[in-house]
Chain A
Amino acid sequence: MNSLLSSLAISMRQNRGFYGALFLLSAIYLIYNILHPRGFSSAVFVQNANESVAIVFVAMAQTIPVLMGGLDLSVGAVMTLASCIASVLVNGSPLQIVFGMIVTLASGTAFGFANGLIIVYGRLQPIIATLATGAIAMGLALFIRPKPGGDIDGDLNWALTNSLWDFVDTYQLFDPDALWFQPIAWIPTPFLIIIVVAVVVWIPFRRTVTGRTIYAIGSAEGPAYMSGLPINRAKIAAFTLSGFFASCGGLYLAIQTASGNADITQAGAYTLNSIAAVVLGGTSLLGGIGGAIGSLIGALILRVISFYFRILSIDPLLQPLVEGLVLLAAVSLGAIGVLRVKNRLDLFR
């Protein structure tokens, strides 16, 4: 028990940003639910979860290149591309739907893989290479869906955007009113999707040699190379995984809105918000520190802040200003460490 506590204390000291973000999220979501006129209810939770999935996935996608000290400016575009592909393919018979979802995820993953190849073998800076490939992804998305629209299976839309009860009810898996099912029936399906993808994909990946190499590259690439770590493989894997997460976001966005929309402005906004979410989640833009779970929390913080506008009577015209100020204040909090630096040379990393 004691050793558990002390290891938790060590973990907290090592991941201040992450635990700070977790605390902030719990605090603001608790206050949100207290202030909400109807109090906590499954319906509000479902709606909040629905609106968060896409940005959460895009933020997780952005995290992995950032951990290497790079940046992926194509995540929003890859997400848009995936949602456009999904809006064409995810309908018809159950088999066709599954096929469509697999093709959507595979194409996003393949795009990330191509990003990785260009960056590793072309030896380009990630930020500028993905700026260009992002334009290519946007172009492909526009080819597939020149005008907003699309056709998504209605049952799937209903099942994935409501609580687990509705999911079971839609597909007649078993009696949704079964007694054992009651304690978890209220959980929103989108919330579960995020948790499952994060636990099944990210946490095992982080423990592999490739995953640890990504952290090593972010801390110091030269020494990582000299230690015999698979640098190239890790870089390609990082961008491939980034493409996978981005396409998860795109697939869900298409299912949620039952359409695809190749909107360049929206794609850009997702990319920029993902950077903000990554930083809020305690990942260092210099690389080597942080993780996708932190970005998940960072993205949720961004979303919860915007939920506040609905229940507080803030002038809608002031909303963008408040959002901007909160973002600026949050990142400035991280700068407090600068005041403690004794040797000024430590500032210039």
Chain B
Amino acid sequence: MSFSFASLKPEDKPVLIASGFVLVILLVGTVYTMATQGSAPLLSPNYLLQQLQTGSFLGIVAAGMMMVILLGHIDLSIPWTVAAAAMMATTVGGDMALPTGIAVGITVGLVNGLGVAYLRIPSMIFTLGVDSVLRGLMVWHTGGFAPQDQATPIMRFLAADKILGIPVAIFVWVAVSLVIVLILGRTAFGRAVYATGNREGAAYLSGIRTRWVIVGAFVISSVCAAMAGILLAGYSTKAYQGMGNAYLLPAIAAVVIGGTRILGGQGRYAGTVVGVTLIVLLNSVLSIMQMPEAGRQVIYGCVIVGMLLVYGRGNKVVS
């Protein structure tokens, strides 16, 4: 056994450390509940599945966000892509609800991708602009109120029902994860994403059509956000204003905690899954402890900084 920590690949280290931290969170939470209530709800499968069900929305958003971050870009249009997809899906309703929501995602992704790849506008500001345009369109469409349309039965099924005792939403998350893993690991497009994220000029010179790679990654990100929006509308039976606001920063945090480099070119999907789990469990343990919002924010921030200080440090500039 020549296994040692130092021999790990740099992209595997964060996954292991973050997994370890997930266990620490579970342990601390369990010790707390044992001490105060004498029971261990955190370790019961039902509770964990319920947490993962709400976590699957974040997981799907983070999966898409990871594609964009791997390119060294960022997608700030997530919040209103989520809301727009949910609102359009519930408005159209019937059999066309799901395709409509996905179509919203594809459209937003194409706009984002074309703006970033062809106009070369920094993604930070272009997606921000697209986000506020989407917000404007939705306020115009709904009159500024929560739309009255109900989620369709199939949306309810995907988000809130269970198969064999396991929430369907988790199956959706697993399916999305499989697709992303296959894309990143087994297709030319996936390799092109890593190459473009490392150095776009070099990738271009080696024959990769980097602009289409960027467009593709943004489309995947927006479609994932749209799917999360559809599920979220199904979960809460309707769409509402600002429903996606709570997903942007946690998604970025989950991707980065999972060891994906914010400058692009490096990162594993397993890390993102661990990052999402970490954030979801941290939230649920803090709510079990009845931590006020103030304390939650502080702990949340400290955990991100702490994790990054352990393995996210950059290189010293020496030349």
- B182 on interface, CB distance cutoff 8 Å: no
CB pair A324–B315 under 8 Å, yes or no, is no
CB pair B119–A335 under 8 Å, yes or no, is yes
CB pair A122–B309 under 8 Å, yes or no, is yes
- A321 on interface, CB distance cutoff 8 Å: yes
CB pair B119–A338 under 8 Å, yes or no, is yes
User: Mostly helix, strand, loop or mixed at chain A's interface?
Assistant: helix
- Chain B residues lying within 8 Å of A71, measured Cβ to Cβ, are 124
User: Mostly helix, strand, loop or mixed at chain B's interface?
Assistant: helix
CB pair B125–A135 under 8 Å, yes or no, is no
- A146 on interface, CB distance cutoff 8 Å: yes
- Chain A residues lying within 8 Å of B163, measured Cβ to Cβ, are none
Q: Chain A interface: which of B53-61, B171-179, B292-300?
A: B292-300
CB pair A335–B309 under 8 Å, yes or no, is no
- Chain A residues lying within 8 Å of B121, measured Cβ to Cβ, are 331-332, 334-335
Whole-angstrom CA separation of A348 from B201 in the bound complex: 5
- Chain B residues lying within 8 Å of A320, measured Cβ to Cβ, are 132, 135-136, 139-140
Contact of A331 with B140 at beta-carbon distance under 8 Å, contacts A131-B249, A132-B308, A140-B294 already known: no
Choose from A129, A143, A275, A328 the contact partner of B308 (Cβ within 8 Å). Answer: A129
Closest-CB distance, A53 to chain B (whole angstroms): 22
- B253 on interface, CB distance cutoff 8 Å: yes
CB pair B298–A136 under 8 Å, yes or no, is yes
- B105-142: CB near A (< 8 Å → 1, else 0) gives 00000000001001111101110111111111101100
Whole-angstrom CA separation of A305 from B44 in the bound complex: 54
Whole-angstrom CA separation of A319 from B308 in the bound complex: 40
Contact of A345 with B122 at beta-carbon distance under 8 Å, contacts A122-B305, A132-B304, A140-B294 already known: no
CB pair B301–A128 under 8 Å, yes or no, is no
- B312 on interface, CB distance cutoff 8 Å: yes
Minimal Cβ-Cβ distance residue in A for B210: A348
Interface residue count on the B side (C-beta < 8 Å): 62
Closest-CB distance, A109 to chain B (whole angstroms): 19
Minimal Cβ-Cβ distance residue in A for B257: A128
* Total A-B Cβ pairs within 8 A: 169
Choose from A146, A328, A348 the contact partner of B129 (Cβ within 8 Å). Answer: A328
CB pair A324–B314 under 8 Å, yes or no, is no
- Chain A residues lying within 8 Å of B300, measured Cβ to Cβ, are 132, 135, 139
Choose from A127, A221, A321 the contact partner of B262 (Cβ within 8 Å). Answer: A127
- Chain A residues lying within 8 Å of B253, measured Cβ to Cβ, are 128, 131-132
Choose from A135, A222, A272, A318 the contact partner of B304 (Cβ within 8 Å). Answer: A135
- A67 on interface, CB distance cutoff 8 Å: no
CB pair A222–B124 under 8 Å, yes or no, is no
Closest-CB distance, A202 to chain B (whole angstroms): 22
Choose from B74, B298, B318 the contact partner of A135 (Cβ within 8 Å). Answer: B298
Closest-CB distance, A269 to chain B (whole angstroms): 10
Whole-angstrom CA separation of A325 from B125 in the bound complex: 13
- B204 on interface, CB distance cutoff 8 Å: yes
Whole-angstrom CA separation of A135 from B282 in the bound complex: 14
CB pair A286–B122 under 8 Å, yes or no, is yes
Closest-CB distance, B296 to chain A (whole angstroms): 7
- Chain A residues lying within 8 Å of B210, measured Cβ to Cβ, are 348
- Chain A residues lying within 8 Å of B131, measured Cβ to Cβ, are 324
CB pair B317–A221 under 8 Å, yes or no, is yes
- B186-219: CB near A (< 8 Å → 1, else 0) gives 0000000000000111001100001000000000
Whole-angstrom CA separation of A194 from B210 in the bound complex: 44
Within B274-308, which residues are at the interface with A (CB < 8 Å)?
292-302, 304-305, 308
- B38 on interface, CB distance cutoff 8 Å: no
Whole-angstrom CA separation of A141 from B292 in the bound complex: 12
- B76 on interface, CB distance cutoff 8 Å: yes
Closest-CB distance, A333 to chain B (whole angstroms): 10
- Chain B residues lying within 8 Å of A179, measured Cβ to Cβ, are none
Closest-CB distance, A255 to chain B (whole angstroms): 24
- A122-166: CB near B (< 8 Å → 1, else 0) gives 111101110111111111111100100000000000000000000
Choose from B249, B263, B292, B315 the contact partner of A146 (Cβ within 8 Å). Answer: B292
- Among all A-B residue pairs, the 9 with the closest Cβ atoms: A321-B136, A139-B297, A324-B132, A139-B298, A142-B294, A135-B301, A136-B301, A324-B133, A132-B304
28 A-B residue pairings within 8 Å (CB atoms): A122-B309, A124-B308, A124-B313, A124-B314, A127-B262, A129-B308, A131-B252, A132-B302, A133-B301, A135-B249, A135-B301, A135-B304, A139-B293, A143-B298, A222-B318, A222-B319, A225-B319, A268-B249, A275-B124, A275-B125, A321-B137, A321-B139, A322-B136, A324-B133, A328-B132, A331-B126, A332-B121, A348-B204
In addition to A136-B305, A139-B298, A338-B118, 8 A-B residue pairs with Cβ atoms within 8 Å of each other are: A124-B309, A125-B314, A127-B262, A143-B295, A272-B76, A276-B128, A317-B143, A322-B136
